[in-house]
Amino acid sequence: MVPTLCLLVMSSCNAKNKKGDSIANTPEELAQKTTQLIQQYINQAGFTGKLEDSAITLNQPAISQSLYSSKSYAALWCKQDQWLPVGDSLFHFIEMSQLFGLFPEDYHLKKLKVIKEKVVADSLGKGDRNNANLWSLSDVMLTDAFVQIIKDIKLGRLPSDSISQRKDSTLSVEFYQQQLLSIQQLGLAATIKSLEPSQKGYHQLKAGIKKFLDSADYKQYTIVPYPVKDKKKFERALQKRLYEAGFIAFDSTAADSTQLAEAIKSFQKKKGIAVDGRAGEGTVRMLNVNDREKFIRIAISMDKYKMLPKIMPSKYIWVNASSNYLELIDGNEVKLTSRVICGKPKTRTPLLTSDITSLITYPQWVPPPSIVSKEILPAVKKNPGYLAKKGFSLVDAKGNEIDPYTVDWSKYSKGIPYKIVQGSGDDNALGIMKFVFSNKYSVYLHDTNQRYLFGNSMRSLSHGCVRVQEWDKLAYYILRNDSLNAKNGNYTKADSVKTWLQRKQKRSIAIRNKIPVYIRYITCEGQNGKIIFFDDIYAEDKFIREKYFASK
């Protein structure tokens, strides 16, 4: 705090020399000088954000300037030698802003504290309470903090992307003026509440933050380097990190491979990941997550909810590719929860928003080109009988089935001039039900012929599609919803599908009342007042953290 105090004092002294004496003799003179200094400071900041001769950089100088100019540069948060109640409320919010997934340091907290302590503690009459420079600096910082808080609560800190359904990616000066008026009339709490997302997931996360912060340990732990470049260095760091977490009893001497493996197994078991005693990418990733990093992931996750529509559809399917769970939401109630299997890190499930347009019973599977070139083609080159073993047919452009033993596979290195089709049946990779929705990635929800994999705690195993454990409950909900909204109000579609499944027939059922599908990637969620963290298996949050939260 001492360096900050010195900078502010220097700023105050320089202001006296450049702008004249900032100490006022009367309340009226203090208000007048404060207004003059606010105008000079905010105009100097311009679009560079710098306040001349001070250690203060503004985040939103242009918006702040517009707010002040509309009020003739009068102070917004103080009056004469006191902060207004709304100013006190804003300062308190900044102090407690972590409870909203925000970072107090983003809103000038340290510098505001210094000034607040100086003017409040001015019992000896040193002039701080009558120093217009201190009041003008604090007012400008509070205004800048107010603008940044409104933006961060409303829009978050992540840029709009191809799946964002946010309609207002930028906020106008008029919007900020409305929020300023709202704070003055309704209070800060009501204004902030009106700007927050309505999604249940956001509020569940928010409800768990206090408990998380109360027990958070911001101690710096050893980072385990990965990928491994120096094996000895890696093993030393690994042993030290396991020792810090209490999974191995010593770090003064090198552990042998058996001791390390047992310690790793204990860690893996506690975290609910595959227990193999090896420090692979996933295990190291979880070892390197400390409470500070976890809070940043909370902030990122809350911002992801801010990118959704303000009002979600009355019915929709929500897939979290990080937790590997699906929820069917109907009127803000969870009608169905199902385990799912999403994509592996190399073939991740994409983020998307679409609508269920049809269901297909006993579907055929046409592997996408990526799977053909990377997996099927190498296998066929070794043994053309691979296709028959997997139930695949080879079809040419005219629809004729081709004998794979008659093809010179050595000519092909990537693509092939044939279509590979896996016929309908219980052994089909898609299982016996496929949920179709338009998207550019050729992915969908479906059943699977490997249902035993739903028992895994780590279920990022597919080529990108989403395998659904409770596919039958999801299908019949969609069908009943479609029938109930039909004119005759009967269950004909559901009854027909049951018959087709019994007969193992391939049929396509068009859905008139389309149900939206949201596939997102959120690495933590609130459950019963606690925050549960999932593995950042796609390293998406790691990328976001490094790009947009690098200073945290």
- Domain definitions of the chain by residue range: 2-196, 366-422
What contacts 493, CB < 8 A, 6 or more positions away? 479, 482, 483, 509
Distance CA 408, CA 388 (A): 17
548 and 157 Cβ atoms separated by less than 8 Å: yes
**φ, ψ of residue 518 in degrees (nearest 5):** -115, 115
Q: How far is CA 260 from the centre of its chain?
A: 34
The pair of three-digit structure tokens given for residue 525, joined into one six-digit string: 């969620």
What contacts 31, CB < 8 A, 6 or more positions away? 74, 75, 79, 80
pLDDT tens sequence across 357-414: 999 999 988 888 888 888 899 999 999 899 988 888 998 888 889 998 999 998 888 8
The pair of three-digit structure tokens given for residue 146, joined into one six-digit string: 């107010």
pLDDT tens sequence across 241-283: 999 999 999 999 999 999 999 999 999 998 888 899 999 988 9
The torsion angle over the Cα atoms of residues 203, 205, 207 and 212, rounded to 10 degrees, is -170
DSSP SS3 for 370: helix
Q: Quick one: what percent of the chain has pLDDT higher than 70?
A: 92
Q: Which helix (H) or strand (E) holds 89?
A: helix 85-95
* Residue 150 burial (10 A CB sphere; 0-12, 13-18, 19+): buried
453 and 274 Cβ atoms separated by less than 8 Å: no
Torsion sign, CA atoms 196, 198, 204, 207: positive
**Which position has the token pair 């080879």?**
394
Residue 310 has pLDDT above 90, yes or no: no
DSSP SS3 for 99: helix
The torsion angle over the Cα atoms of residues 231, 233, 235 and 241, rounded to 10 degrees, is -150
* Residue 203 burial (10 A CB sphere; 0-12, 13-18, 19+): middle
pLDDT tens sequence across 407-429: 999 888 888 888 898 888 888 88
517 and 340 Cβ atoms separated by less than 8 Å: no
pTM for the whole structure: 0.86
pLDDT tens sequence across 116-165: 988 877 655 566 888 999 999 999 999 999 999 999 999 999 988 777 76
Q: Which residue has the higher pLDDT, 544 or 285?
A: 544
Distance CA 285, CA 206 (A): 25
Residue 486 has pLDDT above 60, yes or no: no
